[in-house]
A and B are shown apart, each in its own frame.
Chain A
């Protein structure tokens, strides 16, 4: 098992889990906000729709569905 943090909250997942799966499993629905302030989250789950973007270890607009969790990873929704 590995630990990541999302918006300060600890999430424990099995090795090989994507960030999108980890967040959804922990009940996070709002991955980011649209220009108009609406809630956005994963739609395609395969790196095409660009809806699941989060900030990972300080880097903005990373695709949660295409990024595997690593020990100590810091995820921020926006």
Chain B
């Protein structure tokens, strides 16, 4: 009989793969179990936008740490991972949003992040296909994009992790030094009562239009959509792929199934009228793992069982930072950033 592994990770998405990579790098023998395709859940459904967000200190700390880690990993990623430092161009529609862009710029500056404020003219020079009448923007230069399913497979290969195709119904059945539940929006199935809700999102991808969009474009109102609690919302969010294809998002829905794809596309056309003439070749949906405070749950649940879920729309971005924090806790080492804001017990009554 083979001995129990040091760690079993349930969930072969980007978060599980990053945890496997980090633990294996520390010398642990790691196994991964997933009932589906490797990187086939929210990992494949999302845009793979690697973005620093500053809605609160904990979010900024984790996204900044993680985007930095992605840049370090980038040199090793296979070409098929399509890592690309496209930057994020936050678009200010009016004076109020431009003031928000300036505030954001100051936060980036204070945190040593490369950023540039654009006035109206500079915005059109950067992105000529945006509609007229926008106020300006903020270019976050360190942000990037990655094709996450390939990055997931890369991390698992590097971890030399055995990946078993099986459905786990009870975490207590698994025998290992540490058991990590990284099943995203499905985590509640294994941990009853967990404060993680599936939050549906839609994406569309177009045919190839090289040069039509040059940066990841996000309206500043996106944060209201992402961090708000409304049952559904849409925001302009477009990413150019290295092939010239355009990913168009984004939508957020809790427990409702009203048609939202059309609304999402109309929002994109409002900002970029020329998109209307582009052919969409595929649309799909996925489920984000959403927590009440929009921060992930990283750390011990009970005994030898740990959680790494609740990443909402930031799972690809924060996977690498999550793995550092979780591995530090499992191995009893210091965390690279204060882990308190992500602890599971913050939701205990």
Contacts and interface: CB of A to CB of B under 8 A. Distances in A.
Contacts of A35: 208, 243
Contacts of A60: 207-209
A35 B79 CA distance: 14
Chain A's interface size range is under 10
A63 to B, nearest CB: 10
A61 B243 contact: no
Chain B's interface size range is under 10
Interface in B203-252: 207-209, 243
Interface in A15-63: 35, 50, 53, 59-61
Contacts of B243: 35
B245 to A, nearest CB: 9
B279 interface: yes
A61 B212 CA distance: 14
Nearest to A59: B277
A61 B279 CA distance: 8
B281 A50 contact: yes
B326 to A, nearest CB: 37
B276 to A, nearest CB: 12
B275 to A, nearest CB: 13
A61 B207 CA distance: 8
A47 to B, nearest CB: 12
Contacts of B207: 53, 60-61
Interface string B160-203: 00000000000000000000000000000000000000000000
Nearest to B242: A35
Contacts of B278: 61
A31 B206 CA distance: 19
Interface string B275-291: 00111010000000000
Contacts of B208: 35, 60-61
Contacts of A50: 281
Contacts of A53: 207
Among A50, A59, A60, which residue has the most Cβ atoms of chain B within 10 A?
A: A60
Contacts of A61: 207-208, 278-279
Interface in B263-301: 277-279, 281
A26 B248 CA distance: 38
A50 B282 CA distance: 13
A53 B206 CA distance: 14
A53 B244 CA distance: 15
Nearest to A62: B279
A35 B241 CA distance: 12
Contacts of B209: 60
A50 B207 CA distance: 10
Contacts of A59: 277
12 contacts: A35-B208, A35-B243, A50-B281, A53-B207, A59-B277, A60-B207, A60-B208, A60-B209, A61-B207, A61-B208, A61-B278, A61-B279
Given A60-B208, A61-B208, A61-B279, 5 more contacts: A35-B208, A35-B243, A50-B281, A53-B207, A61-B278
Closest 3 CB pairs of A and B: A61-B207, A61-B279, A35-B243
